[in-house]
Amino acid sequence: MNFELSDDHELLRSTVRDFAEGEVAPVAEELDRLHEIPYEIIAKLGALNLMGIPFPEEYGGGGGDTLAYALTVEELTRVDSSVAITLCAHTSLGTQPVYLFGTEDQRGEWMPRLCSGEILGAFGLTEAEAGSDAGHITTRARLDAGDWVIDGAKQFITNAGTDISGLVTITALTAEGEISNLLVANGTPGYEQGEPYRKMGWHASDTRPLTFTGCRVPEANLLGTPGRGLKQFLQVLEIGRIGVAAMGLGLAQGALDQALAYAKQRHAFGQAISKFQAISGKLADMSTEIEASRLLVYRAALLKDAGRPFGLAAAQAKLKTGRLAVRCAEEAVQIHGGYGYIEEYPVCRMYRDAKILTIGEGTDEIQQMVIARGLGA
């Protein structure tokens, strides 16, 4: 059993950390305040081969593994969640379906542009009555003269409405009780993106509803075999949980970093507040929980890379780190005192960004169901 990262993984970690601290941290507060999509940062991430890091080089990807992807997401989220979720949703949800289930023609058309960050990918699953009950979708697609004609709506979709959005993979009923996945390119008539939501956090990330009204896409835009959509998106979500778990880990670590730095420089009663037992105890607990969670996240990634079952580990990691991110962000705000409630301090943004990690990519309650099922309960 080896708890050390390889030299290649250590190099990647330091590269992404330097990028996050040098390129993202200086603009994170402004992007959040102005609700601006970080287009320049996305382009730079693409130039570093990070927008497609877990995909083969033959498709334009970075040739990395799942652990490399988790490390990238973790380091970005230490500094800013909006940048991290843009990359995370694009990779796990937007690009993964094309790579896993696409034909060679579909991969050749889309993968190089997705992996380079030239365009962003999105995944349209959630509907008004189909969230945790993901199989209860009502969006429909029927064949007509060689085209799929799509009617329906999706909500809470990430990356679909930016200036560089390229396509969305959507789930639709292609026959009674038959769910399939279809590729829909941005600009297709009948496909419209609604106004972005006013969210608690992730302000520099794009999230909005989508509507499809007589939207026609070629029959060849079907992903895989008709009726396999349910199994396909469950596989995508299982992989995606590793990325979201890495986000929770990164946010918790970032909150600890900020809290520790503040506690060491903030003085009260003649000494740094880090010297007080009430504060040092919080820092110690945060650090211990983060290290335990890091092992969970990395284990899930390593299991996937080894070709072994990883769904249980991914759900455990996602459940643990989402809750930890909320707790660490709250403690970091508490340690900052009144300053923690001020937007100029990163912990304020982290506090707002943390809560969604217990909801998105499967709620905590869904993770508990997955874990219990994995235990044979």
Please say whether the dihedral angle defined by the alpha carbons of residues 78, 320, 286 and 346, taken in this order, is positive or negative: positive
Q: Closest Cα to residue 323, out of 363, 278, 357, 369?
A: 357
Q: Closest Cα to residue 246, out of 86, 72, 80, 70?
A: 70
Give residue 1's pLDDT.
Answer: 77
Domain boundary among 175, 192, 227: 227
Cα atoms in the Cβ-side hemisphere of radius 13 Å centred on 116? 12
108 and 204 belong to one structural domain = no
CA distance 138 to 155: 12
CATH of the domain at 131: 2.40.110.10
Parallel, antiparallel, or unpaired for β 120-124 and 165-175?
A: parallel
**Does residue 271 belong to any structural domain of this protein?**
yes
**Does residue 2 belong to any structural domain of this protein?**
no
**Does residue 338 belong to any structural domain of this protein?**
yes
41 and 88 belong to one structural domain = yes
pLDDT exceeds 80 at position 355: yes
What end-to-end distance do the CA atoms of the chain give, in Å? 29
pLDDT exceeds 90 at position 134: no
240 and 351 belong to one structural domain = yes
Q: What is the mean pLDDT of residues 274-279?
A: 98
Q: Closest Cα to residue 110, out of 183, 215, 218, 190?
A: 183
**Does residue 1 belong to any structural domain of this protein?**
no
List, for residues 316-351, the tens digit of each pLDDT value.
Answer: 999 999 999 999 999 999 999 999 999 999 999 999
Q: What is the mean pLDDT of residues 3-8?
A: 94
Helix and strand totals (H; E) in the chain = 12, 10
Residues 208/193, Cβ–Cβ less than 8 Å: yes
CA distance 50 to 373: 34
Report the 3 state secondary structure along 236-250: HHHHHHHHHHHHHHH
pLDDT confidence tier of residue 151, bands split at 50, 70 and 90: very high
- Which region among 90-99, 102-111, 228-237 has the lowest average model confidence (pLDDT)? 228-237
Q: Closest Cα to residue 11, out of 55, 59, 75?
A: 75
80 and 138 belong to one structural domain = no
Q: Which residues are catalytic?
A: 361
What is the percent of the chain where pLDDT is above 90?
A: 96
| 3-state secondary structure at position 269 | coil
236 and 347 belong to one structural domain = yes
Q: What is the mean pLDDT of residues 161-182?
A: 96
The predicted model scores a pTM of 0.96
Residues 170/1, Cβ–Cβ less than 8 Å: no
107 and 135 belong to one structural domain = no
Q: Which domain holds residue 37?
A: 7-120
pLDDT exceeds 90 at position 296: yes
List, for residues 18-62, the tens digit of each pLDDT value.
Answer: 999 999 999 999 999 999 999 999 999 999 999 999 999 999 999
pLDDT exceeds 90 at position 276: yes
Q: Where are the beta strands (DSSP E) in the chain?
A: 120-124, 140-144, 147-158, 165-175, 178-185, 191-193, 207-218, 222-223, 267-268, 271-272
Q: Closest Cα to residue 201, out of 339, 20, 31?
A: 31
Domain count across the chain: 3
**Does residue 287 belong to any structural domain of this protein?**
yes
Residues 29/344, Cβ–Cβ less than 8 Å: yes
CA distance 117 to 184: 18
Q: What is the mean pLDDT of residues 274-291?
A: 98
pLDDT exceeds 90 at position 135: no
Domain boundary among 173, 197, 227: 227
Q: What is the mean pLDDT of residues 295-310?
A: 97
CATH of the domain at 60: 1.10.540.10
Domain boundary among 120, 152, 182: 120
213 and 167 belong to one structural domain = yes
